[in-house]
Chains A and B, each alone.
Chain A
Amino acid sequence: MARARRGDAVAYEALVRAHQDIAFRTACLFAGSAADAEEAAQEAFVKAWRALPRFRPDAPFRPWLLAIVANEARDRRRAAGRRAGLVLRAAQERVSGDAAPSPEAALLAGGERRELLAALGALDERDRAVIACRHLLDLSERETAEVLGCRPGTVKSRLSRALGRMRAELESTGAGEVVAP
C-alpha cells in the first residue's frame, strides 16, 4: 500500500488483483448488467489510483475502495436509465446444480434458492443492498456502511428492518413455510 501511495504502478496492480473479485461483485449488485459492472469496477480502480495520494495511510483500503466502486456502479446505472437488480436476477438464473454443492448448501433445494432470490429481488433497492452486502458479499458492518453511504450503527437497524420485510415477502408467497424449520 505504501509503495502504491508513492505512485508505484506495479504495487497498485497487485492491490487491484487482490481486490478485483470483491470489487466486481460489489459492482454487480449496483450496476444494471455484468458489462456495466466490469466498466464500473475498472473505472473505480483508476479513480482510486488517482485519489491514493490523498488516502489516509492508517485507514483500511477495502471499505474506501468498495465505496468508490458502488458509487461508480450506481452512477452508471442511473446514466443508462436501468433499474437496479438486473444482475441479481441474472445471478438467480445462474444458480444451478452443475457444481457439486457443499453438504450444508445441499440443504437448500433449488426451489428454495429461487424463492429466496425472488423475495430478495422483490425488495426495494435499499433493503436489497443491505442484505446483499452483509449476507451475499459477506461484507463487514463497516464495509457495508461505506458502500451504502451511512453510519456503521445504521447498518444493523437497516438490516433488521430489511430482513423483516424479506421474511414477510416469503410468507406472502407461501415460501416462508418452506424455509422455516
Chain B
Amino acid sequence: MTDLEQQLALLRDEIAWPPTPDLAGAVGARIATEPDRAGRDKPRPWTSVAPRVRDRLGGPRARAAAIAALVVVAVLAATLAAAPGVRARIADWLGIGAVRIERVDRLPDASPSAGLGLGTRTTLPAARRTAGVPVPTITALGPPDAVYVDRRVPGGAGASLVYLARPGLPSATRGVGALLTMLPGGDPLIVKKLLGAGTSVQSVDVDGGFGVFVAGDAHLVVPPNRLAGNTLLWVRGETTYRLETALGRDGALRLARSVR
C-alpha cells in the first residue's frame, strides 16, 4: 500500500457521512403496497361469484336496498356477537357492505409473501377519474402518501389511500399508519375477514351511520390472505369504507369523521 493509500485509509475513519435514514422501514412500507409478487395475475377466488351477485342486486335502488339489508344483518349479528352462548349456536357471520366477516375456530395461515393487494399505484386525481367509488381523503392526516386503484374489484374499481406511519400515527402493518379502502358496496363477497376468538367486533356510530370496529388479535383478510389489525368498517351511500389503523376505536372514529 502506498503512502497515499495509507492516508486515504485513515481518512475513511474520519469522514462523517450523513446519517443513514431508516430505509428498511420506508422500503418495507413501499413493497407492502406493491401488488403481490407471487400472485399478481391470479384471478381472485370470488370473481366468478360476484357477477351473479351483481345481477341479483339489479340497479342502484335495488343495490341500496340490498346494502341496507346487509347492514341490518350486521346489526343483528353484531348484537349476537356480544353474547357468546348465542353466538355458538348461530352461523357466526355478518356482512357490512362489501365485506363479509366470519368467525372461525382456527385462523388459517396467512401468506408470508402477501402484500397489501391494493392494485395499481396512481395519483389522487387519476383515482378520482377512474375508480368506481368516491375517493375522499382522511383530511385529518393531509394528503395520502400513496394512492391505488384496484380494477379487479367486481362492480367497479376500488381505491385505497396509504398514509405512512408517523409520530402520533403508529405503524399498523409494515410501516403503514393508516390504510383507507373504498369498495363498491353492493357485492357482499368482495372481501372476507376471518376472525379468531381473540378478535372482537363492536357496532359503532360513524358520523351518524352504522359501522363495525374489529379489534384485538390480528384477523385474516381474504384476498390477499394477509393479517390485519384494528379495522373500522362503515357504509356511506353505495360505498363500503375500510380503515385499518393501529389507533384504538376512538382514534379510528376520529379519522373516519374527517374522511371527506
Interface contact A94-B23, CB-CB below 8 Å: no
Interface contact A91-B15, CB-CB below 8 Å: yes
* Chain B neighbourhood of A116, CB < 8 A: 7-8, 11
Within 8 A of A (CB), among B4-33: 4-5, 7-18, 20-24, 26-28, 30-32
Interface contact B37-A53, CB-CB below 8 Å: yes
With A90-B18, A163-B5, A167-B4 in contact, do A105 and B27 touch (Cβ < 8 Å)?
Answer: no
Does B186 lie at the interface of the complex (its beta carbon under 8 Å from any beta carbon of A)?
Answer: no
Interface contact B13-A9, CB-CB below 8 Å: no
Chain B binding surface SS class: helix
Does A131 lie at the interface of the complex (its beta carbon under 8 Å from any beta carbon of B)?
Answer: yes
Interface contact A9-B24, CB-CB below 8 Å: no
Q: What is the CA–CA distance of A109 and B166 in the complex, to the nearest angstrom?
A: 42
Interface contact B27-A95, CB-CB below 8 Å: no
A143 to chain B, nearest CB (A): 15
> B residues engaging A (CB < 8 A)?
2-5, 7-18, 20-24, 26-28, 30-32, 34, 36-38, 112-113, 115, 174
Interface contact B12-A138, CB-CB below 8 Å: yes
With A117-B11, A135-B5, A179-B3 in contact, do A20 and B31 touch (Cβ < 8 Å)?
Answer: no
Interface contact A42-B8, CB-CB below 8 Å: no
B109 to chain A, nearest CB (A): 13
Interface contact A108-B7, CB-CB below 8 Å: yes
Chain A binding surface SS class: helix
Interface contact B11-A136, CB-CB below 8 Å: yes
Interface contact B10-A108, CB-CB below 8 Å: yes
Interface contact A108-B14, CB-CB below 8 Å: yes
> A residues engaging B (CB < 8 A)?
3, 6-10, 12-14, 16-17, 20-21, 23-25, 28, 34, 37-38, 41-42, 45-46, 49-50, 53, 87, 90-91, 94-96, 99, 101-102, 104-105, 107-108, 112-113, 116-117, 131, 135-136, 138, 163, 166-167, 170, 179-181
Q: What is the CA–CA distance of A166 and B4 in the complex, to the nearest angstrom?
A: 9
Interface contact A179-B16, CB-CB below 8 Å: no
With A12-B31, A24-B21, A135-B9 in contact, do A6 and B38 touch (Cβ < 8 Å)?
Answer: yes
* Chain B neighbourhood of A20, CB < 8 A: 20-24
Of the A-B pairs whose beta carbons lie under 8 Å apart in the complex, a sample of 16, sorted by A's number, is A10-B112, A12-B27, A12-B28, A16-B23, A20-B24, A21-B20, A28-B17, A45-B23, A46-B30, A53-B37, A96-B16, A107-B10, A108-B14, A135-B11, A136-B11, A166-B4
Among B2, B18, B174, max chain A CB count under 10 A is at B18
With A16-B27, A37-B18 in contact, do A135 and B12 touch (Cβ < 8 Å)?
Answer: yes
* Chain A neighbourhood of B32, CB < 8 A: 9
Among B11, B22, B23, B112, max chain A CB count under 10 A is at B23
Of B12, B21, B31, B115, the residue contacting A38 (CB under 8 A) is: B21
* Chain B neighbourhood of A13, CB < 8 A: 24, 27-28, 174
Task: Please give me the residue from chain A that is nearest to B226 by CB atom.
Answer: A9
With A24-B23, A135-B12 in contact, do A179 and B17 touch (Cβ < 8 Å)?
Answer: no
Among B12, B24, B30, max chain A CB count under 10 A is at B24
With A6-B113, A101-B14, A167-B4 in contact, do A24 and B20 touch (Cβ < 8 Å)?
Answer: yes
Of B22, B26, B31, the residue contacting A9 (CB under 8 A) is: B31
Interface contact A94-B31, CB-CB below 8 Å: no
Of B23, B24, B36, the residue contacting A7 (CB under 8 A) is: B36
* Chain A neighbourhood of B115, CB < 8 A: 9
